[in-house]
Amino acid sequence: MKQVTAAVIIEEGRLFIARRGPEESLAGLWELPGGKIEPGESPQECLERELAEELGMEARVGGIVARTIYHYDHGSFEMLALQTVRLSDFALTVHDRFAWSSFEHVHEYPLAPADIELLTQLHDSMGWKLTDSSGPAT
């Protein structure tokens, strides 16, 4: 089973989500950005690398705040959501849109199924009260 990281970036009470581009699997669905852990990488190293590759974003990645296992048609994945502080601006390359969403409105976006479970865990366990980052405003 592959392990996949997902960034939980919260600023001013809003969560950063991005929409997968038309050339990607699960195109058009919104997600917490991240990617697959490579051999020898820690989840934190993976997420820092993925954010740099996909968004040109520098970030400080902390601990795991939610995890789930999800079975897609194309494989099974253990999803690890990590608290993340954005340290720089970003640019979309893999994704075609981004949003900053409150918990009350995040389910209005068509979310990737595994991300729905991660977001439910974040709300249930922490009441959506993760520490806001002090990253730059966009």
Residue 99 inside a domain? The answer is yes
Question: What whole-number distance in Å separates Cα of residue 56 and Cα of residue 72?
Answer: 28
Average pLDDT, the chain: 88
Read off the pTM.
0.87
The single-letter code of the amino acid at 101 is S
For position 89, which CATH number holds? 3.90.79.10
Residue 132 inside a domain? The answer is no
Residue 137 inside a domain? The answer is no
Residue 68 inside a domain? The answer is yes
Task: Kindly state the tokens that stand for 41.
Answer: 């990488």
Residue 48 inside a domain? The answer is yes
Residue-wise pLDDT tens digits, 31-82: 999 999 999 999 999 999 999 999 999 999 999 999 999 988 878 999 999 9
Residue 131 inside a domain? The answer is no
Q: Report the alpha-carbon angle 77-79-80, nearest 5.
A: 145
Question: Where in the sequence is the domain holding 84, given as residue range(s)?
Answer: 2-126
Tell me the pLDDT band of 127, cut-offs 50, 70 and 90.
low
**Considering its fold, how many domains does the chain have in total?**
1
Q: Mean pLDDT over residues 97-106, rounded?
A: 91
Residue-level pLDDT at 92: 95
User: What radius of gyration, in Å, describes the C-alpha atoms of the chain?
Assistant: 14
| 3-class SS of residue 56 | coil
Residue 20 inside a domain? The answer is yes
